[in-house]
A and B are shown apart, each in its own frame.
Chain A
Amino acid sequence: MALEKIISITGPAVYVPGNDIDTDRIIPARFMKCIVFDGLGEFLFYDVRKNADGTDRPHPLNEARFKRATILLSGANFGCGSSREHAPQAIQKYGFKAVIAENFAEIFLGNCTTLGLPCATASREDIAKIAAVVAQEPTAEVVIDVVKQEVRFAGQTVKAEVRASARDALIHGRWDPIGELLDGLPAVQTTAAKLPYLAA
């Protein structure tokens, strides 16, 4: 299966500050009762974006000037918590094409990569620099260069690491492993035949 080679992501960014933003915060569990993922985007960060009566609370994603953002900026340990893919799905369905944070929870990062959603890690200082530019000028173009592992914005360049395995998968169009896994099916049978609990 031929997949798009994800070399770089370009677009406006929005900064959602905070450390340890967990998957329940990204998409509250009660919105995960769905049979398809479509429509999850509107519930992204719901409980911090909305009051109980459905009216808006102050949140960057509620600000008109950030509505077009396609790059999400945040703090440390982003995406901790549940293994459910609803969180990366909600981020992608909302319209984000990449996330930059200080670091990411393991399962979350894997799930994002499989959706072709690059997760780049940058230092706190550098994220603050990008956030400062974005706050000033929400339409500023931010470029995440997956190959060079850097972020370029407003004439500045900062380092942004994309984990080697994820980077390789993204730039070679192998971020969804299904094709390669299917190719391995004959070898799967051989491995299974050697295991008593599977051979039986």
Chain B
Amino acid sequence: MRKSLFEKVWDAHAVRTLANGQTQLLVGTHLIHEVTSPQAFGMLRDLGLKVAMPHRTFATVDHIVPTDQFAEPYRDPLAQAMMEELRKNCASTGITFFDRASGKQGIVHIVGPEQGITQPGTTIACGDSHTSTHGAFGAIAFGIGTTQIRDVLATQTMALGKLKVRRIEVSGKLLPGVYAKDVILHIIRTLGVNGGTGFAYEYAGEVFDRFTMEERMTVCNMSIEGGARAGYVNPDETTFAYLQGRPYSPKAAQWDAAVANWKSFASDPGCHYDDVVKIAAADIAPTVTWGINPGQAIAINESIPDAAKTNVVDEKASIEEALAYMKLTPGAPIKGTKIDVAFLGSCTNGRLSDFQEVARFLKGRKVAAGVKAIAVPGSQIVALQCIAQGIDRVFSDAGFEWREAGCSMCLAMNPDKLIGDQLCASSSNRNFKGRQGSPTGRTILMSPLMVAAAAVNGSIADAREVFAVN
């Protein structure tokens, strides 16, 4: 029988069927971080249980680390406590911890791929919604809650119901100035923030075939924002080339066998999909959000929606609520909206290629007066690569603050926060109310180059115009 990658990976990792009909699914790789794991270790201790496979569990610290301070103790005692708790839990159970002193620390979804831990045909779980990022490698990766973290720690498995699979094909070629981020914002806008409920997304088509691994990661990262529990791209030569030579990748002697095995997981041509969605690359423009969820997005040249123009009651209410919060004018162009902060980073767009691409255009330009701009590499390795290529200088010369690796302003768990109702042009993945640390702070999601354009312009702008992209 022809099977999709999802089914093959699922079947290979299904241990048995539980009494409630769910599957006991083997989790090949468990990634943990400081925010969601301490409670799980606590539950484990309460139950007198041990970590089942410490060698398949990897830890890093990302959410709470201050990006302007390396030395401990941190100014926030709670952050320091979480850091020490993770250190203690890893040391006592034999889990590898990519601590800041290792030079390999970073956002968990950047560290896994970077180390070659994320591999095709595997299952991955992490107590973080954006675990779907790892699907870029043809892995099935789930964001899980703390109780499930406990389950995975104790048994290396979790109880899960099988998902349906929707294939999303993006055909043709993206226009200049249109990036992976625009692709996923467009998909979420098209299918809705709940459109993916109950599904795993298989991303395919010429655009994904051509995408680099980092671009694939950007798209898979935000699957959850479209309601999909997981998202993946079938592994191909791009995947294998990326993995070759990484610390945890199979070594030379095992390489060919590993590649053959990985290839066998790719979806069979003609296999069954529960749904197929086709999107033309040419229809995708640089996209920005205007509201308070990632589906509330428009192309840069569109105007802000007007609640008066819809008769759907729910839609009216959600537009009104979003615009009241965002303090934006219905019907006005989004272009020209003044910004206070520009944030470049996160597990969506905090990789080397993101900074490289922006640096190409940012050279010789200056951040507009009154705009606070910060650039935060997603990992220490990304930071080093940027420094080696002089990219950090391009950013600092332009007026960006160049920071240490971490989640930073993607969420409000470290000192990088919006103040009051500041409006932030952000390369991150969530524009929920209060997400960036101030209960009235406002977020507009966009691609890294659009963030740079907004920073230079002082307002939301079309990067293609600001930087003469063509």
Contacts and interface: CB of A to CB of B under 8 A. Distances in A.
Nearest to A75: B314
Interface residues of A, number: 59
Contacts of A35: 38-39, 42, 81-82, 85
Contact of B15 (A33, A82, A114, A187): A187
A41 B312 CA distance: 35
B435 A32 contact: no
A86 B122 CA distance: 28
B52 interface: yes
A196 B261 contact: yes
Contacts of A168: 19-21
Contacts of B161: 165
A36 B413 contact: no
Given A20-B293, A180-B19, A191-B13, A196 B434 contact: no
Interface stretch (A3-11, A103-111, A148-156): A103-111
A187 B254 CA distance: 26
B147 A83 contact: no
A39 interface: no
Interface string A156-198: 0000000011001100101011101110110110111011111
Contact of B127 (A33, A52, A84): A84
A24 B435 contact: yes
A160 B38 CA distance: 35
* Residue from the set B24, B76, B229, B314 with the largest chain A CB neighbour count within 10 Å: B24
Interface in B149-175: 150-151, 154-159, 161
Contact of A181 (B53, B119, B154, B293): B154
A28 interface: yes
Contacts of B19: 168, 172, 174, 180
Interface string B25-59: 01010000001101100100001010011001000
A37 B318 CA distance: 32
A107 B143 contact: yes
Contacts of A185: 52, 155
B384 interface: no
Given A35-B82, A106-B197, A196-B258, A29 B147 contact: no
Contacts of A188: 15, 24, 26, 52, 155-157
B155 to A, nearest CB: 4
B16 A24 contact: no
Interface in B103-151: 119, 121-122, 127-129, 143-148, 150-151
Contact of B229 (A19, A107, A197): A107
Nearest to A104: B197
A174 B22 CA distance: 12
A60 interface: no
B458 interface: no
A2 interface: no
B159 A180 contact: yes
A88 B53 CA distance: 28
A25 interface: yes
Contact of B433 (A47, A89, A165, A187): A47
B151 A110 contact: no
Given A35-B42, A106-B198, A181 B439 contact: no
Interface string A54-91: 00000000000000000000001100111111101100
B224 interface: yes
B35 A33 contact: yes
Contacts of B293: 20, 22, 80
Interface of B: 12-16, 18-22, 24, 26, 28, 35-36, 38-39, 42, 47, 49, 52-53, 56, 64, 76, 78-79, 81-82, 85, 119, 121-122, 127-129, 143-148, 150-151, 154-159, 161, 193-194, 197-198, 224, 227, 229, 254, 257-258, 261, 293, 314, 317-318, 411-413, 430, 432-435, 437, 439
Interface of A: 19-20, 22, 24-25, 28-30, 32-37, 47, 52, 76-77, 80-86, 88-89, 105-107, 110-111, 114-115, 164-165, 168-169, 172, 174, 176-178, 180-182, 184-185, 187-188, 190-192, 194-198, 200
25 contacts: A19-B314, A19-B318, A22-B432, A29-B437, A80-B193, A80-B227, A83-B128, A83-B145, A83-B224, A89-B146, A106-B229, A107-B143, A168-B19, A174-B20, A181-B24, A182-B49, A182-B155, A184-B15, A184-B24, A184-B157, A188-B15, A188-B52, A192-B28, A195-B12, A198-B28
Given A80-B193, A188-B155, 7 more contacts: A33-B78, A76-B314, A86-B146, A165-B20, A174-B20, A181-B159, A191-B15
